[in-house]
Amino acid sequence: MNLEQLVRENVKALSPYSTARDDFKGQADVYLDANESPFETGLNRYPDPKQAYLRTAWANYRRVAPEQVIAGNGSDEIIDLMIRAFCEPGVDSIVVCPPTYSLYGTYAAINGVHVVEVPLLADFAVDVSAMIREEAKLLFLCSPNNPTGTVVPEEDLRIICGGFKGIVVLDEAYVDFSVSGSAASLISEFDNLFIMQTLSKAFGLASIRVGFGLGSAQLIEILDRIKPPYNLNGWSQRVAAQAIEQSGQMESWKEAVLAQREVVASALSGNPMVEEVYPTETNFLLVRFKDASEVYRKLMEAGVVVRDRSNLPGCEGCLRITIGTMEENVKLLETLSNQES
């Protein structure tokens, strides 16, 4: 696939931001090129616009090449970059598969880009044949999906990447919790596959805003043309790289969340107010209640905030409940069992 043909007209003419430091290879002693303060605070220098250290750290972690990685101010910024790189406002469209993460549509709307919906099927499976019929620049898939917890099987992903004429954007925000694993190895096979990942969930770093995009080197170069040069501050780049290099911490948190998820899921399954606890490969449960708004209100009263998803298509009566610490989960379950009267 010729990605350059899909690029927005104004972006075709751009090239990535470059600094004097890009011209200088090696370790300089004296930096008098950027009007920074010379006084050492640990934060007085501009951060690396190429995010070289961080991209390499993530590339090693995901077993891809550094040229196949970009970092954003959260994966939310990556969504925005993809739309702005490829979609002409008022002309082009993206495909989304509701019920799913709402920010794909939000960023499309901000950029004046049309949104075409291909809803999930009754069992929350993706409608493969319907989506490959769509003519759009980008197709957003989320696996495991927020809020349904479901995974797009690799066979389906292959058919979609092979059949869709634009770029398939696969959001793997919850992949660290999944048993199915990442599709990252497929980016070398399909040049129209782009994968988003984040440090906001399993890595416990939502506050520093670091997300990643994985794709062919050509695709990453296109995004580098429109990326704000200093989109990711130096502090975040450093904290992120350290967390990746010490991913054992994430692994142990993940094990704790998965163990607690089983406790919460089985308690909820036995609760008479619950109609269904959906299977999940994430750190949350989608739960269908007999009276979701009453449950939501009672939880709020007890100071327990969950996400009401009952207005989404296919999620009638559903609340999305994140797995917390053991103490938090006990509070949730106690509040729910005190409710029957």
Ligand X SMILES: *Cc1c(COP(=O)(O)O)cnc(C)c1O
Contacting residues toward ligand X, per CB under 6 A: 74-76, 101, 142, 146, 171, 173, 198, 200-201, 206, 211
Helix (H) or strand (E) holding 243: helix 234-245
Residue 289's alpha-carbon distances to 171, 292, 301, 318, 324, in angstroms, are 28, 5, 18, 6, 20
State the residue for tokens 């640990």.
Answer: 42
Instruction: Write down the least CB distance from residue 244 to ligand X, Å.
Output: 14
Instruction: Write down the least CB distance from residue 174 to ligand X, Å.
Output: 7
Instruction: Write down the least CB distance from residue 145 to ligand X, Å.
Output: 7
What residue number has its CB nearest to ligand X?
74
Q: How far apart are the C-alpha atoms of 115 and 108, rounded to whole Å?
A: 7
| Contact by Cβ (8 Å): 265, 277 | yes
Structure tokens at 123: 């069992």
Q: How far apart are the C-alpha atoms of 171 and 153, rounded to whole Å?
A: 14
Complex with ligand X: residue 120 or 173, whichever CB lies closer? 173
- Candidates 46, 11, 12; CA nearest to 231 is 46
Residue 219's alpha-carbon distances to 73, 85, 139, 191, 231, in angstroms, are 18, 10, 15, 8, 18
Instruction: Write down the least CB distance from residue 320 to ligand X, Å.
Output: 10
Complex with ligand X: residue 199 or 295, whichever CB lies closer? 199
Complex with ligand X: residue 101 or 289, whichever CB lies closer? 101
Instruction: Write down the least CB distance from residue 147 to ligand X, Å.
Output: 8
Complex with ligand X: residue 68 or 146, whichever CB lies closer? 146
Instruction: Write down the least CB distance from residue 101 to ligand X, Å.
Output: 4
Instruction: Write down the least CB distance from residue 232 to ligand X, Å.
Output: 12
Complex with ligand X: residue 51 or 146, whichever CB lies closer? 146
Q: How far apart are the C-alpha atoms of 113 and 287, rounded to whole Å?
A: 33
Complex with ligand X: residue 201 or 309, whichever CB lies closer? 201
Radius of gyration of the chain (CA): 22
DSSP letters, 11-33, are HHT------HHHH--S--S---S
HEC string of 192-217 equals CEEEEEECCCCCCCHHHCCEEEECCH
